Amino acid sequence: MERPILDFLYLVSIVFFIVGLRGLSHPESARRGNLLAAAGMILAIIITLFYPFGNTPNNYGWIAGGILVGTVIGSVAAIKVKMTKMPEMVSIFNGFGGACTMLIAITEFRTLPPGTELLSGQVFTVIFSVFIGSVAFSGSLVAYGKLDGFLRDSIRLPFPQIVNGVLLLVIIFFGGYIMMMDELNYTIVLILLGLSIIYGITFVMPIGGGDMPVVISLLNSFTGIGAAAAGLIYGNQVMIVGGILVGASGTFLTILMCEAMNRSLINVIIGGLGATTFTGGDDKDKVVKEASHGDTAILLKYSQKVLIVPGYGLAVAQAQHACHELESMLEKEGVQVRYGIHPVAGRMPGHMNVLLAEADVPYDKLLEMEEANKELPTTDVVLVIGANDVVNPAAKTDTGSPIYGMPIIDVEMAKNVIIMKRSMRTGYAGIDNPLFYGDKTKMLFGDAKDSLNKLKSEISNA
């Protein structure tokens, strides 16, 4: 096939990427956008198999084998993964993308012909790809561990900012040293690789578990930047544009999430959220009022306006379908039901939107934080399902709280607040919630799915 035709087909695949990414901006078009982006990737892979890259060996067997293995693993993971484990899957997949960039760069170093001028833009790009790919790889693995829980408090670095600063300077030194060498020393390259992997670990380790949604987005942008750098190495337009799209979207999402938390990215990277436990006064001031399923069902049935605020507990209980069924029952009783969605609720960007979309909750019922807060003064009942930190009034009142300044859904403005939780344990940020002891608040303890099913039964029998 002629090269101009292949270049044109590359352009077509890039258009598929852009249109597909545009489709992901709205739930109604997200599935179509995802399919378009996937079609663009398939087309790009096929084109690359025919694209002339000079005197390259025939590795079609290895390529076919890699595609087959990757397809099987990815398909099984996507089908089998639970909604509660979706953030972990995103972290692993993102880590694989970083590992791909890292391996491409290491291979490029391995194949540099003797006598290659090392003080060049090409070698700088390869060094940068080693670094950014390694950080995305090892950092994503640490994020996976924090999301899964087994790394949440198990390792603490002494003076992490100093350690990271020194390590980064050492990496820069080795990168510069490689470029100043007369002849490439591959051992130095491996040292650079090892230091970069360690830096990815130490970079993410100090960051609190409550900040993981931001970290996932940030690491995703790193992977995109690494892919673009790998594209520069090979002069591959699709990798360059695709990497830029991923890197830019990840960066914008990171900035938007930091704004939603009223924190700077530097503050997130330095860490802190989840590192302090706020007790919020003496225990004698903490009076918990417990609700029954029967009383809650009556309160919901005879309300005019109900707002549901979902959190990670809804995902853990896999209660999104039961929640949608309760919503439908209440609407048949003439109750207006909406959902208040906090930007960082759950464990990844858009976690609650994806969860509710899986249960076929209409998108127009999902209110962003600002819209939800406007509705709360006229709301009869707020049903908080497994959310904690995103409704914690300490963010507004306690200057010593690690979440101070973070915008929240002001559920205490409603006439009644029902909080569904398994227990009085703190949320992912590790701080107490004074809302639990509020005058308007009642606690409905138990598994979210079981409680929602009991509420449905009580409403139908009332």
Among 52-66, 240-254, 259-273, 364-378, the minimum mean pLDDT is found in 259-273
pLDDT at 224: 93
Please state, in angstroms and rounded to a whole number, the distance separating the CA atoms of residues 272 and 135: 21
Confidence of residue 413 (pLDDT cuts 50, 70, 90): very high
Asked whether residue 160 falls in the same domain as residue 37, the answer is no
Q: Which of 275, 299, 331 is the last residue of a domain?
A: 275
Asked whether residue 311 falls in the same domain as residue 168, the answer is no
Can you give the residue range of the structural domain that contains 163?
84-275
Asked whether residue 290 falls in the same domain as residue 410, the answer is yes
Confidence of residue 210 (pLDDT cuts 50, 70, 90): low
Please state, in angstroms and rounded to a whole number, the distance separating the CA atoms of residues 348 and 147: 9
Q: Which residues are catalytic?
A: 389
Please state, in angstroms and rounded to a whole number, the distance separating the CA atoms of residues 242 and 20: 11
Asked whether residue 105 falls in the same domain as residue 129, the answer is yes
Q: How many distinct helices (H) and strands (E) make up the chain?
A: 17, 6
Task: Report the number of distinct structural domains present in the chain.
Answer: 3
Asked whether residue 446 falls in the same domain as residue 326, the answer is yes
Asked whether residue 313 falls in the same domain as residue 235, the answer is no
Please state, in angstroms and rounded to a whole number, the distance separating the CA atoms of residues 157 and 164: 10
DSSP structural state of residue 446:
S
In the chain, pLDDT over 70 holds for what percent of residues?
91
Residues 6+ away with beta carbon under 8 Å from 174: 188, 191, 192, 195
Nearest to 221 by CA among 261, 263, 249, 255: 249
Q: Name the most confidently modeled range: 40-54, 73-87, 263-277, 401-415.
A: 401-415
pLDDT at 280: 47
Asked whether residue 269 falls in the same domain as residue 228, the answer is yes
Asked whether residue 157 falls in the same domain as residue 215, the answer is yes
Asked whether residue 166 falls in the same domain as residue 313, the answer is no
Looking up tokens 């090392």 gives 118
Stretch (H or E) spanning 418:
strand 416-421
More confident residue, 3 or 203: 203
Please state, in angstroms and rounded to a whole number, the distance separating the CA atoms of residues 343 and 351: 9
Q: Which of 275, 304, 324 is the last residue of a domain?
A: 275
Average pLDDT score over residue span 311-334:
92
CA distances 115 to 100, 109, 119, 184, 190, Å, are 27, 13, 12, 8, 19
pLDDT in tens, 130-174: 999 999 999 999 988 888 777 765 567 788 888 889 999 999 999
Residue 246 one-letter amino acid: V
Contact, 122 vs 233, CB < 8 A?
Answer: yes
CA distances 91 to 71, 135, 137, 441, Å, are 18, 13, 9, 36
Q: What is the CATH number of the domain that holds 317?
A: 3.40.50.1220
Over 90: is that where the pLDDT of 125 sits? yes
Model confidence pTM above 0.85: no
Residue 339 one-letter amino acid: Y
Please state, in angstroms and rounded to a whole number, the distance separating the CA atoms of residues 239 and 224: 9
Over 60: is that where the pLDDT of 303 sits? yes
pLDDT in tens, 211-238: 777 888 899 999 999 999 988 988 888 8
Confidence of residue 276 (pLDDT cuts 50, 70, 90): very low
Residue 319 is encoded by which pair of tokens?
A: 């209660």
Residue 421 one-letter amino acid: K
Asked whether residue 93 falls in the same domain as residue 238, the answer is yes
Over 60: is that where the pLDDT of 89 sits? yes
Cross-strand bridge partners of residue 421: 445
Asked whether residue 270 falls in the same domain as residue 312, the answer is no
Asked whether residue 122 falls in the same domain as residue 76, the answer is no
Nearest to 205 by CA among 255, 247, 144: 144
Q: Which of 36, 53, 80 is the last residue of a domain?
A: 80
More confident residue, 285 or 273: 285
